[in-house]
Amino acid sequence: MHEFSVAESLVEQIGEIVAENGLAEVDRVELEVGELRQVVPEILQLAFRETARDTPAEAAELVLKEVEARAECRRCRRTFRPDPWDYSCPACDVADAKVLAGDGLVLKSVVASESSGVAVV
């Protein structure tokens, strides 16, 4: 289950931010999830709870924002929404597309209780 490896790197990243900024408890974490990553939100939430145990992110709320996938066909330059398993262009039916959005996992913000607010990354 790759949600667990996602959760692990997320907790690791949060740990670094916490250390760099001298934060204590983390209240809230916002993560942008590209739909092409095929992350199941419920499983990622569970994985995060497990992984964050005994870390500064233990009590943090994980907010997931899904990012819709966009791809551009290299032949006809049409942009479309690809399926994770099929990047074929709807116009020319050739799978030769460049992904423009929706394939990333981006930590958007970490909100900690006693700092002055938000450390946006």
Binding site for Zn ion (CB under 5 A): 73, 75-76, 78, 89, 91-92
Residue with tokens 């924002």: 65
Q: How far is the CB of 89 from Zn ion (least distance, A)?
A: 3
Q: How far is the CB of 87 from Zn ion (least distance, A)?
A: 10
Cβ closest to Zn ion, residue 73 vs residue 111 = 73
Cβ closest to Zn ion, residue 12 vs residue 96 = 96
Q: How far is the CB of 79 from Zn ion (least distance, A)?
A: 10
Nearest alpha-carbon partner for 2 in 50, 30, 37, 29? 37
Q: How far is the CB of 96 from Zn ion (least distance, A)?
A: 8
**CB atoms inside a 10 Å sphere around CB 8:** 15
Residue 114 in tokens: 């006693």
Cβ closest to Zn ion, residue 77 vs residue 108 = 77
Report the C-alpha gap between 34 and 16 in whole angstroms: 23
Cβ closest to Zn ion, residue 53 vs residue 78 = 78
* Residue 92, phi then psi, degrees to nearest 5: -110, 0
On whether the CB atoms of residues 89 and 97 are closer than 8 A, the answer is: yes
